[in-house]
Amino acid sequence: MKKRVVAIRKNTQADLRAPFLRADKVLSEAMGAIRLLGAATPRNAAQERARLLSAFTTGSEVAPRWSYARTDHSQLVKALERMAARFVEEGSPVHGVYAARASELALEARIAESVGTDTLGALARERYAAAGQKKGTLETRADELGREWAALTPDDAVEETTQSDARVPGSLLVRMEDAIAQLRLPFTVVVQPQLAALAAVGEHHVFIATGRMLSREDVDRTVLHEIEAHAIPRGRAAHAKLGIFQIGTARGVDDQEGFALLLEERHGFLKPPRKRELGTRHVAAMAMTDGADFVTVVRLLRDRYGVGWERAITTAERTFRGSNGVAAGLGRERVYLEAFGRVRAHLAGRPEDEAVLSAGQIAVDAVKTLSVL
């Protein structure tokens, strides 16, 4: 009898996968081809960061001169849009989740094609501001929180720091390698000079920024953020019944960042310095969306919020990723606080849904559909 139950369960899972096997392959390959954040990272980011810092600290206000690797995703966009339309016609909730992700990837492919051009900003607003447009009160609260956190008093305490990529005990590089080895996660740690963030998790790699001086708390928080909220869920997704857990749902990447901030809060890392960092990133994105250029955003962070030159420049760099240095960039930093509020509110009412949110790059809106899987 037990063997029969196992056989029935396997057949049921196979039946569930069958309509989506081709979609899983296409969407997975599309993700690998698009790699939006990689496409939007300038090839000369590290050199420009040094040039900008030198210029601003000596009284010159200059715009970035970023360069990018250009791509053509026109055929991929058409294929993804056809897939989305076909799945919408199918009508089931799971088909709807796949359709939404295919549409989102088509939009991201169009954004990746437009790096370094004036057209990127409008496409990026469609990708990263759409959730706020649908839920205005949540976006308003995020904007208010961003301004409040950005205005927190800077912490002048001097802490012992270690360079992010130093090959010494306690550095971000060594701590990240140790955590991955201990948990036996399928990732390799790679140092990435062009990275604007401290760290980032890719498909097979965890990237570490070079030359950043970090306190022990910075290191602890970053390891928690990248491992618990990004690397571990991706590892779990590899064993899920459907490929959508690995591919991610529409807005799944965004809500995973909100979940990461919730984990930071639970572990006591959302202290004033971290809140101030998140707040200044948010107000930088707000200012860019309202029409400010790179130089104006750097001056805003420096003059109104008292941010040091180096952090003001790296914050503006993150905000303007994909930009030609004058027009708007991705502005992805705006999703963090909105997603934080959305994920925290959802899990406060339905704590059992954390099992789904931590099983891959899953958005709150898709939890109900995917929870049965």
User: Sorting pLDDT into bands at 50, 70 and 90, what band is 194?
Assistant: confident
Helix (H) or strand (E) holding 161: strand 161-163
What CA–CA distances, in Å, run from 160 to 98, 163, 164, 246, 267? 47, 10, 13, 38, 21
Least-confidence region, from 106-110, 239-243, 272-276, 291-295: 239-243
DSSP 310-341: HHHHHHHHHHTTTS-SSS----GGGHHHHHHH
Report pTM. Answer: 0.90
Write the pLDDT tens digit of every residue in 322-369: 999 889 999 999 999 999 999 999 999 999 999 999 999 999 999 999
d(CA 340, CA 257): 7
Please write the tens of the pLDDT for every residue from 66-89.
Answer: 999 989 999 999 999 999 999 999
156: pLDDT confidence band, cut at 50, 70 and 90? low
Q: What pLDDT digit, counting tens, does each position of 48-66 carry?
A: 999 999 999 999 999 999 9
Contact 348, 222 (CB under 8 A): no
Alpha helices in 40-189 (DSSP H): 45-57, 74-90, 93-113, 120-128, 130-134, 136-150, 172-183
CA distances from 67 to 110, 199, 272 (A): 18, 22, 35
Strand-pair partners of 208: 191, 199
pLDDT at 8 over 60: no
Residue 6 has pLDDT above 80, yes or no: no
